[in-house]
Amino acid sequence: MKKYSSALLLVSSILASTTLADEVRPGVLRTPNSRFENLPGYNFSPNYALVAGYRVHYLDDGPADGEVILMLHGEPSWSYLYRKMIPVLTAAGYRTIVPDLIGFGRSDKPTSMDVHTYQFHVDTQAALVEALELTNVTFVGQDWGGLIGLRVVAENAERFARVVVANTGLPTGTDRDISESSAFMQWKQANQAMIDRGDIPTGTLIANSVGDPSVKDAYDAPYPDPSYKAGPLIMPQRVPISADYPGAAENRAAWEIFRQWQKPFLTAFSDGDAITAGGDILFQESIPGAKGQAHTTITGAGHFLQEQKGEELAQVIIEFIRANPL
């Protein structure tokens, strides 16, 4: 991975605050803080780090000396997705670290889709983990949070003690049904139409998916206008769909590590996600550390299971950690 830690500076939320829309430098936007005021259930203090010249936002809640749980969101969500889980986990004594990917949430937003490569997001999240000096980490990843985070785990294995994956995968371009009728390819085609139009309805997509109109504004909050949406727009196109696709070779290398992975590994997929259905079986059958674990299917939830069954997923994570002590 690229090493950005030498260029990384922790920045206090007070010094980093801004009240106006801000192009912090050509091609990089920063969402005004006012957009994040009074979001339902999201009363967490912001924390920031400077990674590769971008301000990265992350939540850091719970006891400072608690075991660390790193939770990474995907597309097109942000750390708001974990708001129901954080209080459950911190009440159990764990320290929760929940970043926003660059281009999402309260993190800076490069306006060029070219910036948002798979490798860019792996490198910058790995740099954040290194800068925060996280060790003995339990990683939790969903959607792109898994695609990115599993690479970070595999390439920095000494920092991670356990893994929980939910509705995600680690595609190599050879293990996905890429027929035009597959749920993923239908989503990819719909996303390309959004790119052609220059906008993606972030809030509407998630609100419709979870059946809760009240969350729409929160998932729209990071994006005052479509110019902020380069990351959400392009990421579905970055999923490796062929053996020579960018990221496919690196994912195959990560799988070689996971096929030898002895540390505890848990799947907690939902029963209502067409895109990742069956992906949990691949993890269970391929990873030694998954053997004998209490793999769980979260019932009554779709792709964004943190929204629909967040408290239940948090309890699954707590039980997993307690069953697999350091």
Count of CB atoms situated within 10 Å of the CB of 175: 16
280 is catalytic: no
Q: Is 220 a catalytic residue?
A: no
What is the SS3 assignment for 272? Answer: coil
Indicate which residue of 57, 116, 121, 303 is catalytic: 303
| Beta sheet of 28-30, edge-to-edge order | 22-25, 28-30, 109-110
Pairing of strands 54-61, 28-30: unpaired
Decide: 110 and 58 in contact? Cβ < 8 Å: no
CA distance readout (Å), 72 to 84, 244, 325: 14, 26, 22
| Marked catalytic residue, from 108, 143, 177, 196 | 143
Count Cβ atoms below 10 Å from residue 21 Cβ, excluding itself: 14
The answer to whether the CB of 184 falls within 8 A of the CB of 235 is: no
CA distances from 81 to 69, 102, 236, 246, 277 (A): 15, 16, 18, 28, 20
Active site annotation includes 100? no
DSSP 157-196: GGGEEEEEEES-----SSSS--STTSHHHHHHHHHHHHHH
Active-site residue (options: 61, 100, 273, 280): 273
Catalytic residues: 143, 273, 303
